[in-house]
Structure 1
Amino acid sequence: MGQDADDPAVQALVELRAGLERTISDLSTAAARADELIERRASGRSWYDIVSTEEPPLVIETITRVLDELGELGSRFRREEALALQREDINITRIGELFRVSRQRVSALLHDRPTRARREP
């Protein structure tokens, strides 16, 4: 069985990889911003002054967005990987063992068909 560029699991993994790169960059920026906030507080500024003058996106907004994106990309990859294994005639019980989840969770993965809007980051 060759690796096909049209393989949905490969496509999902490529998107996940790109998402990981964005995450690394975004979290590095958020860490630098957190350092700035710490410095402001250490210099005696009030929390109100710090929060009310923080430039968007806020550190917490960045973290929330990154976690949401990674969750979505990771879920899509897991679903596509489970479907690929099923196409290779691997049974649900064995897929569950491979993924370290219950066979019921695998069944839910295999039957969850996200809408196109949920698939696009």
Structure 2
Amino acid sequence: MAIDTGEQDPAVRALRELMAVLDTCLTELGGARARAEKLLEERQAGRTWLDIVTAESRPLVVEQISSVMAALASAGGAWRREQAHALAAEQVSINRIAAMFGVTRQRISALLRERARART
């Protein structure tokens, strides 16, 4: 069987997109971590949470974290769907894919259906 390792492989595209999102998230989380340190310093200096949060510039640390989580969920979900489809295309059973992913066979079936719906 010929293996498609190029950009036309949807799983490769999804993995590259996930890697880009991971890079962005790492940068954003680094910034959030630095800002969290500043918040901690302000709190340890005796400021109230209301004063600290009111003075914090946007996006707030909690907003940054929510944004990162949403980006990871989206890119991670796309990668999982494409990876499940790629494995199924290689004749790997749904039961085996489920075991590899640590989910039920019903979840894998749903992933494969989601991927098919996303393509239409």
Same fold (TM over 0.5): yes
Give the AA of the match of 2:99. E
Q: Unaligned 5+ residue runs, structure 2? A: none
Q: Does 1:89 align with 2:94?
A: no
Q: % of aligned pairs identical?
A: 47
Q: Does 1:111 align with 2:113?
A: yes
Size of the aligned set, in residue pairs, is 116
Structure 2 CA distance for aligned equivalents of residues 112 and 64 of structure 1: 24
Counterpart residue number, 1:119: none
Structure 1 CA distance for aligned equivalents of residues 118 and 67 of structure 2: 20
| 1:101 counterpart (100, 103, 118) | 103
TM-score, scaled relative to structure 1: 0.89
Structure 2 CA distance for aligned equivalents of residues 30 and 69 of structure 1: 15
Structure 2 CA distance for aligned equivalents of residues 22 and 4 of structure 1: 23
Structure 1 CA distance for aligned equivalents of residues 108 and 86 of structure 2: 12
Counterpart residue number, 2:21: 19
Deviations 1:77-114 (A, max 9, x none): 01000111111122211211221211111001100146
Structure 2 CA distance for aligned equivalents of residues 98 and 41 of structure 1: 45
SS at structure 2 position matched to 1:101? coil
Q: Does 1:55 align with 2:57?
A: yes
Structure 2 CA distance for aligned equivalents of residues 61 and 24 of structure 1: 15
Q: Which runs of 4+ in 1 moved over 2 A?
A: 113-116
Deviation at 1:115, TM superposition (A): 5.0
Q: Unaligned 5+ residue runs, structure 1? A: 117-121
**Which of 45-54 and 25-34 deviates more?**
45-54
Deviation at 1:43, TM superposition (A): 1.4
Deviation at 1:4, TM superposition (A): 2.4
Counterpart residue number, 1:71: 73
Deviation at 1:16, TM superposition (A): 0.5
RMSD: 1.5
